[in-house]
A and B are shown apart, each in its own frame.
Chain A
Amino acid sequence: MYNHTVARLTYRALLGRRRALILCALPVLLLVIAAAIRAMTGADDQTAADVLGGFALATMVPLIGVIAGTGAIGPEIDDGSVVYLLAKPVKRPTIIFTKLLVAIGVSVAFSAVPTLIAGFLLNGNSQQIAVAYAVAAAVASIAYSAIFLLLGTVTRHAVVVGLVYALVWEALFGSIVDGARTLSVQQWALALAQKIGADGAISSAVGLPLALVLLIGVTVVATWYAGQKLRSLTVAGDD
């Protein structure tokens, strides 16, 4: 199910100079904000939860997910280089699964790890807030990677669709509109954070069992469907 060559090609494409800069920008911003707040106001649990929930989990994690998930396959489909992967006796689900693992690795490295560091900077992991949000960011990264990887196989406008989803649905509706919360990766991840954090420190609109079922279900279905899409990927020619 894993192909080392596909992984190598994917992470080298993902961590190319320009994309790596974009991937670094948000975590650096988070760390700067965290350090600045700590310096100005001192350690405060509520502020830590607000920053990690409002910026890290609601905005940074889905954006990193869009860049890593769609970037793991979208550019190859756009420029036609995916032909060199497809014209090989390698099973399509293997290609997708390998790309998913790389996208998850990159997302976790650029979102969950900075979230953990930012949490420690903000309040030294008081009430387990840093660890809780870092785990939530890691779990959300997995689901986002699968969703955006699928998006990369079904539309050439994956980045735009992904950004709209990340910014409008997750960052806006997922935070403020009740109904949308149930269908928000952010809220599913928060359910896990709620369990890890101290009582009352973090809250989610979704119960943990449902959140876990939805996280696993969405990840599995998106990955499976992306494999199916890749099996039938049409490479249009210029006649």
Chain B
Amino acid sequence: MPARNRKQWMTDPQLPRGDWVDSRVYSDPEIYEEELEKIFKKVWIPLCHESELPEPYDFRTATIAHEPVIMTRGPDNAVRAFLNVCPHRGMMIERRPSGSFLEGQPSGNPKRMTCMFHAWQFDMKGNCVYISREKEGYQDRICKEGQGLRRLRCEVGMGGFVWVCLDDQPEHSLEEWAGKPFECIREAIDTEPLEVFHYHKAIIGTNYKLWHDTNSEFYHDYMHYHNRVTGFNDEYFARKNIAFDHGHVNVSSFEVKYEEYEGFESREELSFPKFPPNQWYMVDLFPGMNFNLRGSAFRCDIVTPLGPNEVMIEFRGLGVKSDTPEQRRTRIDHHNSIWGPFGRNLHEDLIGVAGQGTAMRPGTEPRRILHGRHEDNYIHDEVGMRHYYDEWGKWVNRLPSDPTQAYKSPAAAAAE
């Protein structure tokens, strides 16, 4: 059928309900706030990597949902996380992205976090260690022993990432949550300490899930010239999507033949510990984190939703801490050629999702977004998205193909 009139356009496709989602899941402001409350404040979020705060008294700041978070490394070398909020009058304690508390701040002393406003100080474990003129103003009614910081669940793992959960009683430990999807690359990233060598960010006018969808499917390789000329062969199609509990997905390995692409040398030599060279694995974690280990380059991207139609994506590239300068340089070059901000693919992926965001602004009509490719879970199958939105539907109790309805499983929906 050629072009369609409104009635034809708005008719639901003759597909099972899990094979499409309603565009309002990407554009509705109420759904966005629900996602922050019901998902982002409940799950493990990888905020940074341990190499970004390597020494005792180092810190790193970030946010989850609307809340500012600070991570500190104590003199005992442990990493802890807190709300980056002073218990006095709610000021953000530390404004810089990273640094060290070894030197005192202008209003405070070495080895302590100081809220510049009234010089209240906290140690790396979140104890309040100083309230200026405490007795004079508070007598015995408020004392520093009762004014510690709000501490948050924090674990370092899966290749040295620092994971924080705003829920004191997360439903799953980090290992239960992410252990299985990471299994395929666990040895490669846990054997030796890693180090971040690349960081940049993008703020794009689109929903965070649209970015994650692009990480969840490879059908969009059609937009990348070099993928088309080098990759669409038998080996390419021999990759499969594997679904895990909690909405996570893996894409399994195949051997990448870089030398077929003009301008690249083979990457066979350099890899990660215990990881065969030229292997490739991708880990997509619900609700929006991607870890991608491809031969010599390990990258990840993490979303921070800013609005129904706005997302910050942080891009990192990692190597092994003990890399020689030559090895590190090789990793950096390989990383940049594809995923650098001036490299091949990333620019195109971002154009794609930005274009989706443009066409799905709050207030646009509800449209059907097709996730209907079925190819026995092979590489162009869209099972990654179907699996994600089925999980999503349970968290927010909405049916992805009609978010005005309560969640029902695909089987229950089919039965109707």
Q: Do A and B bind each other?
A: no
Measured CB to CB, the residues of B under 8 A from A are: none
Measured CB to CB, the residues of A under 8 A from B are: none
